[in-house]
Structure 1
Amino acid sequence: MQTNSEIKIPIASIGISHKTAGVEIRDRVALNAEEQKFTAGEIMRLFNVDGCLIISTCNRTEVYVSGEKSEDRMPEICIWLNEYKKCSYFTDAKITYRLNGSKAVRHFFEVVSGLDSQIIGEPQITGQVKDSYNLAHDSSMTDTILNKLFNFGLQAEKKVRSETFLSDGAVSVSFAGVELARKIFNNLNDKTVLLIGAGETAELAAIHFLEKGVKELYIANRTYENAKKLASKLGGRAFGLQELPAALTEADIVISATSSNNHVVTRDIMLPVFKERYDKPMFLIDLAIPRDIDPAVDKIEGVYLYNLDNLQEIVQMNLDKRKQEIPKASKIIDEYVHDFQKWISSHSVSFIIKRLKAHFDRLRIKELDRLRKRLPVNGFEEIDYLTQSIMNKLMHQHIKALKKIVNNPELYQQQVEFILDLYELEDE
């Protein structure tokens, strides 16, 4: 429920995420693009809400609805969601979170900014929320309130990323390898990367390096055809393992991720390689378990060898740094929740004014219609103008009173409820 110190924000939400449920349940409640459009449309049609926005990723499914009755409608919406997805999860208090008003707004801003992500600060969620919003907006499922919520959320996300280090530092071992390489070589544009292995781990690491603009990519694998296939996919050059010394001679960065039980890169292989390289430095990343690269290789001058444990330490250090940024990011979120609250206040004033004007206009026109046939045209126009003037003066007092107390949420809410009740506007 909304507290007395807040103007009511007409937004309610229901969610299931990585914080409340395992992957099996999250898979079960996930909604693809077509399901999102259908679900939002049905919720708006059946439950008389003004707007509906659904976010569904591998880590969360959340439904946001807007409108004066959004909070009251949520229990029925949850029951309908259960029926649609043929489950009981949306009414299970142990795995769902239902948020209303400013709490729903705050949560949305935290989601967009990466504060609520499984990996704090990850940027993918922002793009996913944008896609969800565009889908809803293009399908006419969002109203002014949800449009503004999204815009404020993007502003909050932008400020969090620019004024904190919440998204800084590698938080995956493959990207940690890229960070280390940049520290050692500074510029990767003239570097050659050699992959030893053609599996998913090696491919992911290669993609990260290619995104940073390395000059060339070599791929060496025990099965040459697999190396050739991956080289064709990524735009590299394939080698068989028997050609490994030749590939090592030209490589600046080596990533090894095979399933071999023995060392693939040994000191005996590397010593002659380094003679041909004229002691040019080499950065090696061993992503394999058991290790592909003999630890003795690290004793060769000019070799920088890192294994999974080293990279995990870097990842953990970066995660710890991100966690230290949470208070700063939360403070920024607080600012934007407050700004959204202020916007709701001003939006509410204009909304009440429109309803008041429509109400007075209906009364005025109804009474004028009784006189229309008994008055000459000129006389009717004068009375029409006069009644409009009286109506505006009557409304002015209410508008003046509302604007005067708009920054006092408790008093403002009382005044709004008084006006709605006085003129029976709730029923119009």
Structure 2
Amino acid sequence: MNTHIPLTLIGISHKTAPVEIREKIALSKEEQVTVHKRLLDAFHLKGILTLSTCNRTELYLSGDLSENELQHIREWLNDFKQTSYFTQEQHTYVFQGKEAVRHFFDVAAGLDSQVIGEPQITNQVKEAYHLAHQGQVTDALLNKLFSYGLQAQKHVRSETFLSDGAVSVSFAGVELAKKIFTSLADKTVLLIGAGETAELAALHFLDKGVGRILIANRTFSKASELANRFKGEAYELDELKRILTETDIVISATSATEYVLTREMVEPQLKHRPYDPLFLIDLAIPRDLDPELNELDNVYLYNLDDLNEVVQLNLERRKQEIPRADKIIQEHVREFVNWLSTHASSQIIHRLKRYFDDLRKAELKRLNSRLPEEGMEQIEYLTESLVNKILHQHIQLLKKNIRNPELYEQYLEFLHELYEIDK
């Protein structure tokens, strides 16, 4: 069914532009609010939704737009961001109608993400919608687009493995640790280093419910800062030997030029924990952890290459889920289009009813002073019956032509010219 969908998408993403361009066209929340108001006022749109993340900036515009109006909006965006990228075809994509709907559903489900299936985009879509909805700049079309898009995302997530498995090395390390220990609730993790990688690892471990976090760093103040953020404990690097006896998992990510942990440092500490496994993850280049550690009993050492193999395997598994996810998305797009067809017809029928009822009441008012009350009641009943019969014919023709877009548009044009009913 080729139902007319008055929706236009203008976007720039990681697929069409490098980060140097994406950062220049990104919209802050304050800028999004400004864009909402100014575009609605200037171009008489029915609704607008903006989605701006590190990987994409997209505008979903509800309402019929001519090519000329669309070009003016792109030029306006250029002026607003002091750039020319919104009119550069190699960087900007424009989708309309069903294509725009499909793209939104793909984005919400993580199918269009740089890392397929990543869950963060769903929250970003929710935040974008709530910003627009709270600003009262969404209409029925955009409200339903968001609702159906979220349903599609939930269906994809529950029916496929598109979001399963670690696809970052820090998360892969956490997943491996969970497989070895089953539960992390009573385990202690030691992070060596206090940079971005250590921070990500801390976030992942907290999410998995680890019992205790220790952070050791060459600069104690940085270790202390990170420990405060994640309710952990900070240590100097020269305390490593002592705290190893309390540790189940070690993740090391420093910029050191020599091994931070050697066999000679670790082996004596194992006597204090003869039956407890020690899980070591080396995320540094050059490596932080002595490869000979892997020769020790109950010690499991993984480096970046090991984790990258896990990540690549998980990414490949996610790619294999795309056809299943695609079928689910297609079904939800069909459901959205069906809703829109019904909604559009009901709106037209409502306008027709109001038009005929206003006409009927105006004529009855003229007769009211000239006829007795009993006669007016009969005429009112007669005119209501007549209007309903006329409406019935129009309603039947609308339903008959709704699956033929060309005939449907022609009939809407006929109604518009005959009764001044908006399409």
Q: Shared fold (TM-score greater than 0.5)?
A: yes
The correspondence for 2:215, drawn from 200, 213, 219, is 219
| Aligned-partner residue type, residue 243 of structure 1 | E
| Aligned-partner residue type, residue 37 of structure 1 | V
The correspondence for 1:252, drawn from 248, 252, 260, is 248
The equivalent residue for 2:316 is 320
Distance change >3 Å, CA 172–CA 70, structure 1 → 2 = farther
The equivalent residue for 1:334 is 330
How far residue 232 of structure 1 moved from its aligned partner, in angstroms, is 2.9
The equivalent residue for 2:157 is 161
Range with greater deviation from structure 2 (233-242 or 297-306): 233-242
- Contact 2:191 / 2:251 at 8 angstroms: preserved in 1? yes
| Separation in 1, partners of 2:324, 2:344 | 31
Could you list the per-position Cα deviations for residues 304-325 of structure 1 after superposition, in whole angstroms to 9, with x for gaps in the alignment?
1001111111111111111111
Distance change >3 Å, CA 136–CA 283, structure 1 → 2 = same
| Separation in 1, partners of 2:247, 2:9 | 53
How far residue 402 of structure 1 moved from its aligned partner, in angstroms, is 2.3
- Contact 1:164 / 1:325 at 8 angstroms: preserved in 2? yes
How far residue 180 of structure 1 moved from its aligned partner, in angstroms, is 0.4
How far residue 207 of structure 1 moved from its aligned partner, in angstroms, is 2.2
Distance change >3 Å, CA 138–CA 224, structure 1 → 2 = closer
| Separation in 2, partners of 1:192, 1:336 | 45
| Separation in 2, partners of 1:381, 1:69 | 47
Instruction: Name the SS of the counterpart of 1:425 in structure 2.
Output: coil
| Separation in 1, partners of 2:225, 2:344 | 61
| Aligned-partner residue type, residue 11 of structure 1 | L
| Separation in 2, partners of 1:119, 1:405 | 43
- Contact 1:7 / 1:413 at 8 angstroms: preserved in 2? no
Instruction: Name the SS of the counterpart of 2:32 in structure 1.
Output: helix
* 1:196 and 2:192 matched: yes
| Separation in 2, partners of 1:163, 1:71 | 40
Aligned pairs for 1:142-291 within 5 A: 142-291=138-287
Distance change >3 Å, CA 229–CA 46, structure 1 → 2 = closer
Aligned pairs for 1:5-154 within 5 A: 6-69=2-65, 73-154=69-150
Could you list the per-position Cα deviations for residues 310-355 of structure 1 after superposition, in whole angstroms to 9, with x for gaps in the alignment?
1111111111111111111111110011111111111121012122
- Contact 1:10 / 1:71 at 8 angstroms: preserved in 2? no
- Contact 2:348 / 2:421 at 8 angstroms: preserved in 1? no
TM-score, normalising length: structure 2: 0.94
Range with greater deviation from structure 2 (275-284 or 362-371): 362-371
| Aligned-partner residue type, residue 250 of structure 1 | E
How far residue 45 of structure 1 moved from its aligned partner, in angstroms, is 1.5
- Contact 2:3 / 2:402 at 8 angstroms: preserved in 1? no
The equivalent residue for 1:307 is 303
- Contact 1:106 / 1:334 at 8 angstroms: preserved in 2? yes
TM-score, normalising length: structure 1: 0.93
| Separation in 2, partners of 1:93, 1:72 | 16
How far residue 242 of structure 1 moved from its aligned partner, in angstroms, is 2.3
| Aligned-partner residue type, residue 338 of structure 2 | K
Instruction: Name the SS of the counterpart of 1:244 in structure 2.
Output: helix
- Contact 2:171 / 2:204 at 8 angstroms: preserved in 1? yes
* 1:360 and 2:356 matched: yes
How far residue 137 of structure 1 moved from its aligned partner, in angstroms, is 0.9
| Separation in 1, partners of 2:368, 2:21 | 66
How far residue 397 of structure 1 moved from its aligned partner, in angstroms, is 1.2
| Aligned-partner residue type, residue 142 of structure 1 | T
How far residue 169 of structure 1 moved from its aligned partner, in angstroms, is 0.7
Distance change >3 Å, CA 44–CA 379, structure 1 → 2 = farther
| Aligned-partner residue type, residue 3 of structure 2 | I
| Separation in 1, partners of 2:383, 2:7 | 38
| Separation in 2, partners of 1:60, 1:411 | 38
| Separation in 2, partners of 1:241, 1:88 | 50
| Separation in 2, partners of 1:203, 1:83 | 38
| Separation in 2, partners of 1:240, 1:84 | 49
| Separation in 2, partners of 1:194, 1:332 | 42
- Contact 2:17 / 2:91 at 8 angstroms: preserved in 1? yes
In structure 1, runs of 5+ residues without a counterpart are none
| Separation in 2, partners of 1:325, 1:285 | 29
| Separation in 2, partners of 1:210, 1:131 | 24
How far residue 409 of structure 1 moved from its aligned partner, in angstroms, is 4.6
| Separation in 2, partners of 1:16, 1:377 | 67
In structure 2, runs of 5+ residues without a counterpart are none
The equivalent residue for 1:293 is 289
How far residue 196 of structure 1 moved from its aligned partner, in angstroms, is 1.6
Aligned pairs for 1:335-350 within 5 A: 335-350=331-346
Distance change >3 Å, CA 145–CA 70, structure 1 → 2 = farther
| Separation in 1, partners of 2:35, 2:223 | 45
Instruction: Name the SS of the counterpart of 1:108 in structure 2.
Output: helix
Range with greater deviation from structure 2 (367-376 or 280-289): 367-376
Could you list the per-position Cα deviations for residues 269-310 of structure 1 after superposition, in whole angstroms to 9, with x for gaps in the alignment?
122111221142110001111111110110111111001111
Instruction: Name the SS of the counterpart of 1:62 in structure 2.
Output: strand
Range with greater deviation from structure 2 (230-239 or 59-68): 230-239
- Contact 1:15 / 1:60 at 8 angstroms: preserved in 2? yes
| Separation in 2, partners of 1:379, 1:139 | 52
Range with greater deviation from structure 2 (326-335 or 41-50): 41-50
| Separation in 2, partners of 1:362, 1:76 | 39
Distance change >3 Å, CA 294–CA 96, structure 1 → 2 = same
Q: Identity over the aligned pairs, expressed in percent? A: 59
| Separation in 2, partners of 1:117, 1:71 | 29
